[in-house]
C-alpha cells in the first residue's frame, strides 16, 4: 500500500543531503508553509530548514494568487535559505528548484516534464507544480538576507480532483500515471537534487551549466507567447534566457528583457 501520510522518518531514510532537511517540521494544516518560515525567519540561524504541510488554508502563488492545496493530495513544502547572492540573482533559486523538481520526477517516476518560465512545471501544457521564492533584502548591501522557497505539487488528485476553474489547466501525478504515489520519496529526491544544485550557485561555470539545463527544459524557446504586464498585453517571440534567467523576447524586431510580468503561451499559431 502507498503511504498516504507525510512521514519524517521515510523522508529521512531517503535523504542524502548535508544541510537541506536536517531540520524538518511537518504540519497537518497551516495557513502557508512560506508564510510560516517568513514569520520565523529571524529565529532561524541555519539554512536548510524544511516545512511541509498536509494542507494549506492560504496557499500562496505568485502575484497574490492562491495555490490550491487540498488535504493529503499534494506536496506543499518550503525551504529556508540564506544564499550568498545579490537580489538581482534571486531568480536563480527558482531556477534551481525547477530543475530539481524536474530531475526528481524523472528519477523517481521516470516522468519527463517541462518548465514554463519562470516557475511552473508543466506536463502536456498543464500545470503540475508551482514554485514561489520570496526573499528579504539587507538594506545597505542589496544582498539577500534570507529566501523562502516554496514548492507545490499536485500529486494524488483523481479524475475529478480539481475545482472547475483549474480542471483544464492543472494536472496531477496520479492523473498522468494512473496510480497514487508516496509523496515522501518524491520529497526526499527533490531535496537531494535541490541541494546538489544549490551548492553550485556561486560558481560561475556551474551557474552556466545550471542555466543550460533550465534552458533545455523550457517549453517556450522559439515560440510566440502572450506577454501580460499589468494592463499591457502583447505578443512576442521568445529568443532565449540570459545569465540571470530573464527572458529575452523579440517584438517588432526589437529585443526586450523580461524580468517580471506574467507570460502565457499562446495556443494558436500565426501572430
Report yes or no: 134 and 150 within 8 Å, Cβ to Cβ. Answer: yes
Applying the rule CB under 6 A, the residues between 21 and 60 that interact with ligand BTN are: 32-34, 56, 59-60
Residue 132 touching ligand BTN (CB under 6 A): yes
Burial of 55 (0-12, 13-18, 19+ CB in 10 A): middle
CB neighbours (10 Å) of residue 202? 13
Torsion of CA 173, 174, 177, 180, to 10 degrees: 110
Interface stretch with ligand BTN, choices 107-115, 145-153, 202-210, 238-246 (CB under 6 A): 145-153
**Binding characters for ligand BTN, 80-109, by CB under 6 A (x = yes):** ------------------------------
Backbone angles phi, psi at 250, to 5 degrees: -130, 130
CB of 164 vs ligand BTN, minimal distance in Å: 18
247 Cβ contact list (under 8 Å, min separation 6): 117, 118, 238, 241, 257, 258, 259, 263
Nearer to ligand BTN, 119 or 156 (CB): 119
Nearer to ligand BTN, 66 or 242 (CB): 66
CB of 239 vs ligand BTN, minimal distance in Å: 24
Using CB under 6 A, list all residues that contact ligand BTN. 32-34, 56, 59-62, 65, 67, 76-78, 119, 130-132, 150-152
Amino acid at each position: 500500500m502507498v503511504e498516504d501520510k507525510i512521514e519524517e522518518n521515510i523522508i529521512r531514510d531517503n535523504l542524502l543531503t548535508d544541510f537541506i532537511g536536517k531540520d524538518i517540521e511537518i504540519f497537518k494544516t497551516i495557513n502557508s508553509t512560506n508564510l510560516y518560515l517568513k514569520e520565523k525567519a529571524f529565529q532561524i540561524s541555519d539554512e536548510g530548514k524544511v516545512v511541509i504541510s498536509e494542507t494549506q488554508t492560504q496557499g500562496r502563488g505568485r502575484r497574490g494568487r492562491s495555490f490550491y492545496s487540498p488535504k493529503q493530495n499534494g506536496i506543499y513544502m518550503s525551504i529556508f535559505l540564506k544564499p550568498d547572492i545579490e537580489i538581482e540573482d534571486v531568480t536563480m533559486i527558482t531556477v534551481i528548484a525547477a530543475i530539481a523538481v524536474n530531475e526528481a520526477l524523472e528519477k523517481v517516476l521516470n516522468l519527463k516534464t517541462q518548465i514554463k518560465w519562470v516557475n511552473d512545471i508543466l506536463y502536456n501544457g498543464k500545470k503540475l507544480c508551482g514554485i514561489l521564492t520570496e526573499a528579504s533584502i539587507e538594506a545597505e548591501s542589496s544582498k539577500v538576507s534570507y529566501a523562502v522557497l516554496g514548492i507545490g505539487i499536485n500529486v494524488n488528485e483523481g479524475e475529478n480532483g480539481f475545482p472547475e476553474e483549474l480542471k483544464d489547466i492543472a494536472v496531477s501525478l496520479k492523473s498522468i500515471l494512473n496510480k497514487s504515489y508516496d509523496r515522501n520519496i518524491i520529497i526526499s529526491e527533490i531535496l537531494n537534487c535541490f541541494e546538489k544544485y544549490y551548492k553550485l550557485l556561486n560558481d560561475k561555470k556551474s551557474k552556466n551549466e545550471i542555466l543550460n539545463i533550465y534552458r533545455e527544459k523550457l517549453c517556450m524557446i522559439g515560440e510566440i507567447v502572450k506577454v501580460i504586464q499589468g494592463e499591457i498585453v502583447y505578443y512576442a517571440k521568445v529568443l532565449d534566457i540570459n545569465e540571470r534567467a530573464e527572458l529575452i523576447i523579440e517584438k517588432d524586431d526589437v529585443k526586450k528583457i523580461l524580468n517580471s510580468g506574467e507570460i502565457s503561451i499562446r495556443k494558436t499559431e500565426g501572430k
